[in-house]
Structure 1
Amino acid sequence: MELYDLISKNENLIFTDSATGISKSFREMHQSLEIDDLRSVAFIYNDNLLPAVETLLNFYQSRYTIALLGQGTNTDFKENLEAKYTPYYIYDPSRNAIEGYTTVNASDSITLFRRNENSIYPIHPKVKLLLSTSGTTGSPKFVRLSDENLAENAKSILDYQPIKPDDVVPLNVPVHSVYGLSIFHTNCIKAHQIVCTDKDVFQKEFWSDLKNYGYSTLGGVPYFYEMLHSIGFFKKDHPSLRYFTHGGGLLSHKLIEIISEYNEQFGKQFFAQYGQTEASGRMSYLPPKDLLRKASSIGRAIKNGRFEIDNETSELIYYGPNIFGGYAERRADLQFYDQEEKLHTGDQARVDNEGYYYITGRLKRIVKLFGTRINLDEIELLLKNTLGGQTFICLNIYDKHLAILYTDASLNKEVIVKVLKAKLSLHSSSLKVIQLDNVPLTANGKVNYPVIQESLESEIAV
């Protein structure tokens, strides 16, 4: 396994559990679990803590194909997936028993569920990792990824990110998201200490850990940086932090201005990036020096990757060795690995005269309301830019209403309505403006649009 070999060469690497303070070297975790040597599937329900990470590394260097999911996944959803894929091993500390499985002590600290009946079936040798394409409910497709996909993406990211051999890196992005996984991989290869944590920015333990361990970097999706802004993070220095990474959607111009000012004042770097699960993580990045000059750009393709734009639809198409081997919806699909030549991203884009790419909308997020073509992502950015970089969520309800949800309770609804009426010429009767205290998030930390949409549609009469 090339990726595992790259990690194993980092003799400086240690893992620390923020919950217990326990640290282990990579050598201590190498082949530390007693598991049967089979060509089968292992389900790992991750919580970002040390036992989950140790389990992941052990299964990665074995013959198993790993399905990596969040530990908070709905129990019915877990059981549905397990029935479809009949994994031989399951790691899930949140459950005491699983029907058809026996608990086994794989080590002094890690317990696994082992299937009572043999569940061997054909699996293509390249299918190493399965990542979900959805959040915590429903029946997701898995993305089939190979070791080559993951290793190539990690090497491309290492080409531009300033990771140092003494860096201390928190797993504040879930490892079962492709973005969190790529952060994990690249830092395992080159950094010093990985802090395994399930804390978020709203918990005081997160900030005490940042200070105690001296985090070198933080990563997050737009909502993460909007929350940092809302709690005043960018008003003072955090000396140990050298750089930030971002993925999972566009930041508003206003927030980019705030971050750029912070970077200049305190000497930080910010890497805006663009990626998808089907590309093993990241496909492009914007150099920190261009953050303000090219504000909303996703930059240029990573090393060994390239973009083109479809002339008819303006869809962004990506080429590179990190492109996945197709989807799986049932265990029979695991016998195939169909290496795709190109990835249709589903995003519309444009490119400027310097070769910098810009996402202009999501094909599925462009709707018609009262005969007017509306880009929901553009409306979100418009509100964020106009009203100070706060969180706004825009949805189309039954093709009759434009629903705008916002988190800042001090913001006047009439101000939002006024901005939309002026910019979009929509009648106020078509607007539903709602203040939201808690934003439902996916397992990847992104805004969970389907859950919000379903909730709104049940409340708003047709």
Structure 2
Amino acid sequence: MKLYDLILRNKNLVYVDALTDTSYGVNEFHQSITVDDRKAVVFLYTDNRIGSVEVFLNFLQSRFTVTLLSPQLDIQFKLELEQAYQPYYIYDPSRAVIDGFELYEASSRIQLFKNLSEPDYPVHEQIKLLLSTSGTTGSPKFVKLSDENLVQNAYSILEFLPILSTDVTPLNVPIIFVYGLSIFTSNCIAGGKMICTNRDILQQDFWADFDHYACTSIGGVPYVYEMLNRIGFFKKEYPSLRYMTQTGGILNHTLVQVLAEHGKRQQTQFFVMYGQTEAAGRMAYLPPDDLFTKNTSIGIPIKNGSFEIDADSSELIYLGPNIFGGYARKLEDLATFQQSERLQTGDIGRKDEDGYYYITGRIKRIVKLFGTRMNLDEVELILKNAMGGETFVCMGIEDKSILVLHLNEELAPEQVKRILKEKLNVHPSMVKVKFVESVPLTPNGKIDYGTAIQLID
């Protein structure tokens, strides 16, 4: 069964516009806009508001190949991507005019842009979704995902997440990213209300909505939970909250302890998950009961998935039915869909005696300091654990030194240098420490290392 059919079958499903407090049943978005139905590409510059959700659902039920893109992309990036992939329709409320397109009233609520020419190019029938792994750079490289990829991913999540038909899920993670998309799809299939909102999880308005709608879950990357801890979230009570999910990195020991205590006190569950866009979302999860004893682990493979570790490089290899059908770097690449049996994750991994897997770093996050290999993800975790859960961002500078950014104005640079000398035998002269008021983030909440490195003096 196709993903959209599974969503439509959920008669409990309601979409709520958090801005107007208006609710829409799943049937109200069924063919609620009028479009041609053909195998071509559409570009949807979507956020998590109700209009974007309605447009996405309508194209999900069609033959079109849907491309989810950030509405915050630079206009020049947008134009270059549109030139390269010749979309038949474009959804972009931020623009009034697009050269080569006419404004098209798809419904009383939704306006699209329709290509004035007839795009003529082959698109493989299996390509349902195109997702970018870059987020903000406007890279023409997309991950090709099939409907079956998306269904397999959603089914695997439903095997371990305690999603109920009465759940109220806030869309606080952008659906243009595979983590947010997996939250959306799995809860659309089995959940209840979806709160469509663009409000940030660190803003007071989000938590006012959270209370108002009695939301039952939240999702975030480690940085989000670090910030929530800083503002005292885990000391407050949210009676409706049943579980939290996290992906995108390793939690520090202090935060794990806070989460474990919060879970006991508030009867909440915390699910650490591991995934990549190329796997349509999830590849592994850590059961909540193992959070304290296996707190740096990504856990065990999802149902129907498995891992191998390359004997030479220690790279983690994933095997499963949710693996993508290759990359699209140009229009001609849409003619093929070649699903691989193996996915090279780019992560360095290990397995313990109980069968739990651990990520010790990214292959690309390895630097050599005067010939000594240094894992920057590991350096960050060491500092976080040694400094009571403080936020640190570490980068290599031309393989000669390590730049450490932090958010604590009272923290002396000597403390950081001393820890790295004691733990890793890094000479203090090889460490640069800098206080910053905020850390640059990608739209999905992860550390934006490419921008962060520019903060060096």
Give the TM bin, normalised by the shorter chain: over 0.9
| Residue type of the alignment partner of 1:393 | V
| Residue type of the alignment partner of 1:200 | D
**Mapped partners of 1:369, 1:182: distance in 2:** 39
The match for 1:241 is: 241
Cα shift at 1:277: 0.3
The match for 1:152 is: 152
The match for 2:43 is: 43
TM-score, normalised to structure 1, is 0.97
Cα shift at 1:414: 2.5
The match for 1:60 is: 60
Cα shift at 1:138: 4.7
**Mapped partners of 1:334, 1:45: distance in 2:** 20
- Given that 1:39 and 1:120 are in contact with CA atoms closer than 8 Å, whether structure 2 keeps it comes out as no
The match for 2:170 is: 170
CA deviation profile, 1:149-169 (whole Å, cap 9, x unmatched): 000010011011101111000
The match for 2:132 is: 132
Cα shift at 1:47: 1.2
The match for 2:427 is: 427
The match for 1:441 is: 441
Cα shift at 1:339: 0.7
- Percent of residue pairs identical: 54
The match for 1:278 is: 278
The match for 1:229 is: 229
The match for 2:324 is: 324
Cα shift at 1:104: 1.0
The match for 1:397 is: 397
What is the Cα-based RMSD across aligned positions, in Å?
Answer: 1.2
Alignment of 1:88-127 (within 5 A): 88-127=88-127
**Mapped partners of 2:17, 2:409: distance in 1:** 36
**Mapped partners of 1:268, 1:410: distance in 2:** 34
SS in 2 for 1:245: strand
Cα shift at 1:398: 1.6
Cα shift at 1:187: 0.3
Between 278-287 and 426-435, the greater mean CA deviation after superposition: 426-435
Alignment of 1:308-323 (within 5 A): 308-323=308-323
- Given that 1:441 and 1:448 are in contact with CA atoms closer than 8 Å, whether structure 2 keeps it comes out as yes
| Residue type of the alignment partner of 1:67 | T
Cα shift at 1:197: 0.8
| Residue type of the alignment partner of 2:425 | S
**Mapped partners of 2:37, 2:89: distance in 1:** 11
The match for 2:2 is: 2
**Mapped partners of 2:138, 2:98: distance in 1:** 20
The match for 2:19 is: 19
CA deviation profile, 1:194-221 (whole Å, cap 9, x unmatched): 0011111332110100110111000011
Cα shift at 1:425: 2.4
- Given that 2:128 and 2:146 are in contact with CA atoms closer than 8 Å, whether structure 1 keeps it comes out as yes
SS in 2 for 1:361: strand
**Mapped partners of 1:430, 1:33: distance in 2:** 59
Distance 1:138 1:369, change over 3 A: farther
**Mapped partners of 2:117, 2:340: distance in 1:** 35
Give structure 1 stretches of 5+ with no counterpart: none
Cα shift at 1:248: 1.1
**Mapped partners of 1:102, 1:204: distance in 2:** 40
The match for 1:81 is: 81
CA deviation profile, 1:349-395 (whole Å, cap 9, x unmatched): 11111111111111111110122211100000001111121221110
The match for 2:347 is: 347
- Given that 2:132 and 2:139 are in contact with CA atoms closer than 8 Å, whether structure 1 keeps it comes out as no
Cα shift at 1:330: 0.9
SS in 1 for 2:313: coil
- Given that 1:134 and 1:140 are in contact with CA atoms closer than 8 Å, whether structure 2 keeps it comes out as no
**Mapped partners of 2:426, 2:190: distance in 1:** 52
**Mapped partners of 2:443, 2:120: distance in 1:** 29
Give structure 2 stretches of 5+ with no counterpart: none
SS in 1 for 2:160: coil
| Residue type of the alignment partner of 1:5 | D
TM-score, normalised to structure 2, is 0.98
| Residue type of the alignment partner of 1:436 | V
